[in-house]
Structure 1
Amino acid sequence: MKRITTFFVLIALVCLAASTALAQGPLTVDIHGPGQRMVNITLLPPKGLDGNPVPEAAAKEFEELVKNNLAYIPFLKLVSVGELLGGDPSRGVSAQDIDFKPFQLARVDLCMTTGWNGQYIEARVFETFSGRRVVGKAYRDVGDKLPMVADRFCSAFLEALTGKKGFFDSPIAFVKQDGKVKEIYTVLPQGRGLRQISDLGGFNLSPAWSAEGDEIAFTHIGDDRHELCIYDSNTQKIRRFAKGLGDTVISPVYGPDDVLYLSLNLNGTTNIYELSKSYKIGKKLAASPYIDVSPSFDRTASKMAFTSGRAGNPHIYLLDMKTGQVRRVTTTGKYNTHPCLSPDGRYVAYTHQTSNGHRIFLHDLETGREKQLTFGPGNDEYPAFGPDGYFVAFASSRTGEYQLYLTTRHGDKPRKISTGKGAAFAPAWDTSMQW
């Protein structure tokens, strides 16, 4: 009798949980809110479609790629099938093929299914309390494209869950040092697809992406001059400009309509200038007799953050592109630099010098509140927002040599990006995937 009573109590609890979930509507996560709920997800074993066998090696590789991607998301927790009562509760890849009760009892919110037919994949994620499909995608002729397929599926999954695309297929440009030479490279945030962009020798610094992600602007410092360089991903060639730009070319960045802005030293003063489409010097922005460098724009290009010495030491300022008004953002400390505006224009991430080294701070332009995102050891510098405005890449010397790391706007535990041998710094994220 006791066993029967216990059984009905469990069923009642499951039904209550399911009805509550349905009443609350689809499961979503507000990644920009003050707090994030933890979401548990289980990846179910792959299944063959239409009676076909599962290609074991490819299925295992795909699962590991997905697991690695999802491990970057701080509000997702992977729960193994072995933790479910009775093991794998599925016999197929559709909702009707899944017994959701074991998930509900284990408090698992989501489950993912993968179906295989040769080089054809179907991947789905379901809510376990309602049976609702969160996302479903099919991919043909995957062959050696499994990493790209995993990235795209995880990005689509995150967009369905949070309203923002994932960063998985958005590369990061950065500076990589080999001996005394510094060149421009790109890499995916997961540490895959490392690629050298420049091979010019000398110092190649300050990479910045165009709005469409088809160009990377950077500074080349050679033996006798500075040059503005533009890498074209379509031709894989680099154009170099120096004539008429003065003797100092610093921190180029793309602004409104992919117009280039950069800091130039003209007549003994370093200020931020607009360049014409033919790379001729145009108007000066936020003109002052002080050093103005490191411009950064939001997605609408209505704001420009920059570093200026007009207060006596480096601080972050904000320029209203319509009115031309400049206001000071940072007021504490003696060294604040490397500003990066979030794509929505609400936040500025920047490098702040503390008594324990350089750290990444976040300033909310709406409320004026500031938050420390990183805590060392070593120095943390060069913040760069991802396309969703949630993840922040930065460079840190916490292991002795500068390497790239990822954190979030909430300051979650940093995760290292693998970039191979040599120091890595000055990340710049391609945000074109979100446009």
Structure 2
Amino acid sequence: MKNYLRISLLGSVLSVLAAFLIVCMTVSGSSAADTLTVDIYGPGQRKINIILLPPKTVPDGKYSGSKDTDLPLPGEAGSFSKDLEKDLAYLPFLNIVPITDILGGDPSKGVRPGEIDVKPLRLSKVDLAVTTGWEIRPNGEKNLLLRCIGTFNGRTIIGKKYSMVTEDMLPLIADRFSSHLMRILTGRDGFFESKIAFVRKVGKDKEIYTVSPQGRNLRQISSLGGVNLSPNWSPDGERLVFTRLGSRQHLLCVWDSATGKIDQKSFPGNTVIGPAFLPDGNMAATLTMNGNSDIFLINGDYKPKKPLAQSWAIEVSPDFDATGDKMVFTSARFGNPHIFLLDMKSGVVTRVTKEGKYNTNPTISPDGRYVAFARQTPLGHRIFVHDLKSGQERQLTFGPGNDEDPAFGPDGYFIAFASSRSGDYKIYLTTRHGDPAMLVPTGGGVAKAPAWGKAKKS
């Protein structure tokens, strides 16, 4: 268990994309919005049927008389459609309908609402249709037009135009459009712009890496050698804190994304376990300053200020809600490891888990209502979620193998975790409703201890 014991290119692509992103359309009509709202936090999720219609070339309005409709699709059209479909497949409330399910095949002659026959789509119970149009200019430049159309009334729900598109931009365009669509449907976004830090085994060493939830932009953060554990993001997504197990002592390490540098700090007692950021930029970690393994508050100058959780037993795995008013942690103060909650204002500690004999690695949702954790069961470790408001618990994962190290995403809807279900440990995603697990591509080797962060502010 983790607590018991490229970028410059991406930046340029982001800048280019931001410069040439043109919003063509927005939500049109309250009736359309009403029929497409999804409460992803409610007790029952509505499933929306969505279809990705085949891409088409479209006339370029700047060049009258051109016959762009006669031009073949660019070679990257197929790969972009696959990227977009892969992105949308990460949203459990969407059901992607294949074009083969539509009576008569492709019902579209173009990419605009009036060019699509929505009747066969409605007969197949399709709620949304996504169209992809490629404008090919005489000079070879390409524009990409994306629309999502509601089949109920044939209106455009969302439309985007991306100009001077290059092949390198396409995965990011798929992410951006999927993020816009998620916000229209649920009122939340951020999933496609977020990033996951994790521990990856490299030979005999364990180093810190980051990757997008879809498996893009894999990047090695640390190259310190030895064992590096327990990454945790700062609230703004610009720093990572983690533990390095040195030859003689544990070191608290802080990586700055702006400089790429890693500060390393030691503490009295030579032990640093499970560091975590508070919303105000301070940190908390388990230290052994007085001989016991207690959780201490550490300020920005790396000075221990006061104990937050202390007892004769081991206190580890601090995690905080978005306000910093609640801290969850693991303690064996009653004999077996269980999950506890500290009210940061009053100092009152309450016990969260009462079932099971081994509950570890808690993560609290940003809104402070849910706590996910790993529990040892007769069939292996599994991820559970506890509702602090109702007191109810629910098992989210069912193996096979072991499921460990849960981490709430910034939206409080998705949860990342490590699992050995495929043999080696890999990172998977589920939701707080327990939707089927989805693999996060992290390359070869063991991947554990995910930590989910927001996208860095630009």
1:39 aligns with 2:58: no
TM-score (norm. length: structure 2): 0.86
CA distance in 2, matches of 1:238, 1:140: 38
Q: Deviations over 1:19-44 (max 9, x none)?
A: xx959933111111111222111111
Of 248, 258, 264, 1:234 maps to 258
- Superposition deviation, residue 340 in structure 1: 0.4
What code does the residue aligned with 1:114 have? Answer: T
1:62 aligns with 2:80: yes
What code does the residue aligned with 1:80 have? Answer: P
CA distance in 1, matches of 2:56, 2:76: 12
Q: Deviations over 1:61-88 (max 9, x none)?
A: 1110011111222221212233323332
SS of 2:76's equivalent in the other structure is: helix
Number of aligned positions between the proteins: 414
SS of 2:410's equivalent in the other structure is: coil
CA distance in 2, matches of 1:163, 1:182: 38
Determine the structure 2 residue equivalent to 1:10.
none
- Superposition deviation, residue 237 in structure 1: 1.5
CA distance in 1, matches of 2:370, 2:320: 11
Does the 8 Å CA contact 2:193/2:455 hold for their aligned counterparts?
Answer: no
CA distance in 2, matches of 1:25, 1:433: 32
Q: Deviations over 1:235-275 (max 9, x none)?
A: 11211111x44310011111131211111111111111111
What code does the residue aligned with 2:238 have? Answer: D
Instruction: Indicate the percent of aligned positions where both proteins have the same amino acid.
Output: 55
Matched ranges for 1:142-291 at <5 A: 142-143=165-166, 144-242=168-266, 244-291=267-314
> What stretches of structure 1 of length at least 5 have no aligned partner?
1-20
Tell me which moved more, 364-373 or 23-32.
Answer: 23-32
- Superposition deviation, residue 123 in structure 1: 1.2
Superposed CA RMSD: 2.0
Q: Deviations over 1:293-348 (max 9, x none)?
A: 10111112211111111111111011111111111000111111100001111100
Determine the structure 1 residue equivalent to 2:95.
77
Determine the structure 2 residue equivalent to 1:320.
343
Higher relative contact order (CA 8 A, sep 6+): 2
> What stretches of structure 2 of length at least 5 have no aligned partner?
1-29, 61-66, 136-140
Of 86, 105, 110, 2:104 maps to 86
Of 107, 115, 119, 1:101 maps to 119
- Superposition deviation, residue 138 in structure 1: 2.3
Aligned in 2, Cα 1:379/1:134: closer, same or farther, shift over 3 Å?
Answer: same
TM-score (norm. length: structure 1): 0.91
Determine the structure 1 residue equivalent to 2:356.
333
CA distance in 2, matches of 1:230, 1:404: 23
CA distance in 2, matches of 1:129, 1:86: 19
1:116 aligns with 2:140: no
CA distance in 2, matches of 1:127, 1:370: 37
SS of 1:150's equivalent in the other structure is: helix
- Superposition deviation, residue 433 in structure 1: 7.1
Tell me which stretches of 4 or more aligned residues in structure 1 moved more than 6 Å.
Answer: none
Determine the structure 2 residue equivalent to 1:17.
none
Q: Deviations over 1:129-150 (max 9, x none)?
A: 0223322222233311111111
Matched ranges for 1:119-134 at <5 A: 119-134=142-157
Tell me which moved more, 89-98 or 395-404.
Answer: 89-98
CA distance in 2, matches of 1:372, 1:260: 30
Q: Deviations over 1:347-403 (max 9, x none)?
A: 000010111111101000110000011111211100011122111111111222211
CA distance in 1, matches of 2:456, 2:43: 25
